[in-house]
Chain A
């Protein structure tokens, strides 16, 4: 039994790492642009498929494909912002919400058009798991956890050490004050999309490594990603990391008592409970 629980905990950390990477972007965008970005799941899908093209199509090594895919997705996010979101920013944030919902469908249909509607994988064949004290851990899962750790550390250094990172935190705290002290808000917005896009791509690629590629893979994960951002306190990137782990682990543990097909419902339930009990999230985000 104890082994089984630890096994689920490991699965939970793997899923949690993926959710955390997605939730960081949602949280950053919410903190700086003040709207819930509904196309984030499909940005994840796009990133995974970009990597598919670089890795399978161009036969590049995976780490290179990973970096290229993150860069391509980050650029896509910036282009979407420049074409659509930027022009709508003066209106109310809910218009942006509708627009991003439409953008989600645009991205998804583009993925279907370019890469086709069926399932794909990066590497065919089965990976044999390591056996450690009766625990089964796949090499891929180690890659995902380590990769997420590296990315999160990088984000931490970026937010704490660089000028633009500090400007981002300032803007998330108080946008008017940030303007008054002369922060170039449009530049911060571009950086926000770059980071959110790259993190989304990473989440999508890890998700595809853990499961498989499919045009609606990211959309299906959007709700747990939002749940992670809200549980961690929306607008707080550090909270999003913790929120991702909480939701991921809770989803895996729930399979002990519930049918696994209801994993998403567990994320939703947890989110609702947090919204009722502590609307600012566990780590004090904004309302």
Chain B
């Protein structure tokens, strides 16, 4: 009986994280899948979203800025605005350059965010981290806090999915695909390429910020050490590529698939001899890294390849 409850709790925990990663993967899909814009700073957007809501909603503390004790909804909205602005700032610098430069710039931002979180103690409490981030639905249904929060995360995932799926079918999404396939042609058709790309990048960044904020309210404690930033970035990329970039359902499927595989690798490393325990993490990353290369080499389009809506006159 206890085993059953434990398994159920683990399932809820797993599903909540999958939901959060799903939202972030959808955000990357707008940037990379729709528009072909690189982002190797996903972990940084995630962390910034988490920290903004943590500072906004936690109780006042002498060890960091705030907390302002705002309602969770306000914290989450602020997190999305903040990460959107961060995305805008990166765009303003790199938007006219080749996509390689965007990738390098996002790495730069990620590094600066990492250094900032660690060193600016007045803002983030440094390595000690921020504790006591409120869980929004605590006590709403007594005894089922974890399950209600899963409901919140899944509702958010559904909302994000519906919103960006709608955008994909809208003329706006069509322009993004045009830019991805042939930027010059899109420009020649009179589209303001720069503006569309900025919009796509900012919307994607906001989804990543939302994911980060939901994560903060889920774990209730965040610190710079808790974010293995480039690892989160890497995992989200594998999710999108495995699922099928350009396809929103693919992005969600990829999040489920890769998170289950990632959790499953723990079963393998759990069987290792004692003195390998400290290296288990590295072995798991290695396995996911090899998986990415295999997917890239054998099935680049992912599990669910992109299926653009048919042209109207067909």
- 0/1 per residue, A85-124, Cβ < 8 Å to B? 0011001011101110111011011101100110000000
Q: For A230, what are the chain B residues with a Cβ–Cβ distance below 8 Å?
A: 101, 104
A84 to B300, CA, bound (A): 13
CB-CB nearest in chain B for A93: B100
A108 to B118, CA, bound (A): 22
CB distance B230 to A219 under 8 Å? Answer: yes
CB distance B119 to A105 under 8 Å? Answer: no
Interface residues in B246-279 by Cβ distance below 8 A to A read 278-279
CB-CB nearest in chain B for A30: B100
CB distance A261 to B119 under 8 Å? Answer: yes
In this assembly, does A222 line the interface, its C-beta being within 8 Å of a C-beta of chain B?
yes
Q: For B36, what are the chain A residues with a Cβ–Cβ distance below 8 Å?
A: 94
Q: A112's contact among B40, B238, B279, B293, by CB below 8 Å, is which?
A: B279
In this assembly, does A183 line the interface, its C-beta being within 8 Å of a C-beta of chain B?
no
The count of chain B contact residues (Cβ–Cβ below 8 Å) is 42
Q: Say which one of B18-26, B108-116, B193-201, B303-311 lies at the interface with A.
A: B108-116
In this assembly, does A158 line the interface, its C-beta being within 8 Å of a C-beta of chain B?
no
A271 to B100, CA, bound (A): 13
> Contacts A102-B234, A105-B234, A109-B283 hold; do A272 and B289 have CB atoms under 8 A apart?
no
Q: For B286, what are the chain A residues with a Cβ–Cβ distance below 8 Å?
A: 105-106, 109-110, 113
CB distance A113 to B279 under 8 Å? Answer: yes
A38 to B297, CA, bound (A): 18
CB-CB nearest in chain B for A226: B104
The count of chain A contact residues (Cβ–Cβ below 8 Å) is 44
Q: How many contacts A-B (CB < 8 Å)? A: 123
- 0/1 per residue, B82-116, Cβ < 8 Å to A? 00000000000110011111011101110110010
In this assembly, does B285 line the interface, its C-beta being within 8 Å of a C-beta of chain A?
yes
A63 to B100, CA, bound (A): 36
CB distance A117 to B293 under 8 Å? Answer: no
Q: A36's contact among B100, B109, B231, B281, by CB below 8 Å, is which?
A: B100
Q: Say which one of A134-142, A160-168, A262-270 lies at the interface with B.
A: A262-270
CB distance B237 to A276 under 8 Å? Answer: no
A18 to B57, CA, bound (A): 45
Q: For A98, what are the chain B residues with a Cβ–Cβ distance below 8 Å?
A: 237, 241, 292, 296
CB distance B293 to A268 under 8 Å? Answer: no
CB distance B297 to A87 under 8 Å? Answer: yes
CB-CB nearest in chain A for B92: A276
Q: For A117, what are the chain B residues with a Cβ–Cβ distance below 8 Å?
A: 278-279, 282
Interface of A is mostly: helix
Q: B282's contact among A88, A109, A276, A279, by CB below 8 Å, is which?
A: A109
CB-CB nearest in chain A for B36: A94
CB distance A279 to B97 under 8 Å? Answer: yes
Q: For B234, what are the chain A residues with a Cβ–Cβ distance below 8 Å?
A: 101-102, 105
CB distance A99 to B107 under 8 Å? Answer: no
Q: For A223, what are the chain B residues with a Cβ–Cβ distance below 8 Å?
A: 104, 107-108, 111
Q: A35's contact among B100, B105, B293, by CB below 8 Å, is which?
A: B100
A275 to B296, CA, bound (A): 30
Q: For B290, what are the chain A residues with a Cβ–Cβ distance below 8 Å?
A: 106
- 0/1 per residue, B231-243, Cβ < 8 Å to A? 1001001100100
B: residues with CB less than 8 A from A are: 36, 38, 40, 93-94, 97-101, 103-105, 107-109, 111-112, 115, 118-119, 230-231, 234, 237-238, 241, 278-279, 281-283, 285-286, 288-290, 292-293, 296-297, 300
Interchain residue pairs A-B with the least CB separation, the first 5 = A112-B282, A268-B108, A106-B289, A109-B282, A109-B286
9 additional contacts (CB under 8 A) given A36-B100, A271-B108: A88-B296, A93-B100, A101-B234, A102-B237, A226-B107, A264-B112, A268-B108, A268-B112, A275-B97
Query: What are 23 A-B interface contacts by the 8 Å CB criterion?
Result: A88-B297, A98-B292, A102-B238, A102-B292, A102-B293, A102-B296, A103-B289, A105-B285, A108-B285, A109-B283, A113-B279, A223-B107, A223-B108, A227-B108, A262-B119, A264-B111, A265-B115, A268-B105, A268-B111, A271-B104, A272-B93, A272-B108, A275-B105
